[in-house]
Structure 1
Amino acid sequence: MAPRMDPLSLEVVELIGTVVGRYYEEYERAAAEHSLTGAQARVLGLLSIEPLPMRRIAQKLKCEPSNITGIVDRLEARGLVERRPDPLDRRVKLAALTEAGLSTATHLRESLNFAREPLAELSTQERTVLRDLLRRMLGV
């Protein structure tokens, strides 16, 4: 039997769950405003950092590569994503944002107020501590 969590740890877990829930609610709302699913919006967000092979997108989103293929197909049909050969290995195809995709990803990011507003109330030092604690929890 697993040891019981102390009351403070239970409260922290509940608060993290609430933050995650609110983030996903707002993310889904913002995605819907762009006629996207949450998964499509998350793929655009990842690709706004750099082009990625489908397998890597699937790893980052913790889903099957076949799901990513379908998502990328739909984004490609809308002109938001294109497939291109990886310059380091031409056998691999990268999913990359088009100009329209980059614009949509930027608008999506800018419309996410949930985290921006509460974080703005924290000092730079407090945000740094929060970031460092979250990194430590995640082992990154």
Structure 2
Amino acid sequence: MPTPPTDPLTLEVVELIGTVVARYYEEYDEAAAAHSLTGAQARVLGLLALEPMPMRRIARKLKCEPSNVTGIVDRLETRGLVERRPDPTDRRVKLAAPTEQGARIARELRESLTFAREPLARLSDGDRALLRDLLRRMLGGPELLPERPGPSGG
């Protein structure tokens, strides 16, 4: 496997991507705190708002241990934001799913994030499409992307 380039342009792009990610998570954590959630709880809730899923799949998507996810889901369930229900395709498996209140809070969190929207609004439709396509290529194609953009991580 070839060594990735370390030319000044590549290093600058990597630094800019890091800055965008850091600012995004900072704003996301602030939005989560406004709902008395930790960043991790908000990320799990946002992920479940896309589709109910078992703990192991949540852990895989967030790249963390299933036991961590179980604790997060327990706390969300105690607050009435998430419920566990049997998987209709395999009743031995429990799915975590947002309650109506959890789905509403996940939507409010997503809608409150202005950091990405404001700078992107300054770009033309063509520039936003180009940026999207370049990011998809960097990530290996659209099949690796979530259905909707959302934070991930543990």
TM-score (norm 2): 0.87
Corresponding residue of 1:19:
20
1:50 Cα deviation (Å)? 0.5
Identity of aligned residues (%): 78
Q: How many residues are aligned here? A: 139
Aligned-partner Cα distance in 2 for 1:47–1:102: 8
SS in 1 for 2:71: helix
1:15-56 CA distance string (max 9 Å, x none): 001001100110110000000000000001101111011101
Corresponding residue of 1:60:
61
Alpha carbon RMSD of aligned pairs, Å? 1.1
Corresponding residue of 1:116:
117
Aligned-partner Cα distance in 2 for 1:134–1:91: 38
Aligned-partner Cα distance in 2 for 1:94–1:4: 42
Aligned-partner Cα distance in 2 for 1:66–1:117: 37
Letter in 1 for 2:80: G
Query: If each structure's helix is expressed as a fraction of its own residues, which one has the higher value?
Result: 1
- List alignment gaps of at least 5 residues for structure 2: 142-154
Letter in 2 for 1:97: P
Higher RCO (C-alpha under 8 Å, 6+ residues apart): 2
Which consecutive segments of 4 or more residues in structure 1 shift more than 3 A? none
Closer/same/farther in 2, CA of residues 3 and 85 from structure 1, 3 Å limit: closer
SS in 2 for 1:52: coil
Aligned-partner Cα distance in 2 for 1:20–1:4: 21
1:125 Cα deviation (Å)? 1.2
What are the equivalent positions in structure 2 for 1:121-132 lying under 5 Å apart?
121-132=122-133
Identify the range of structure 1 (93-102 vs 118-127) with the bigger mean alpha-carbon deviation.
Answer: 118-127
- List alignment gaps of at least 5 residues for structure 1: none
TM-score (norm 1): 0.96
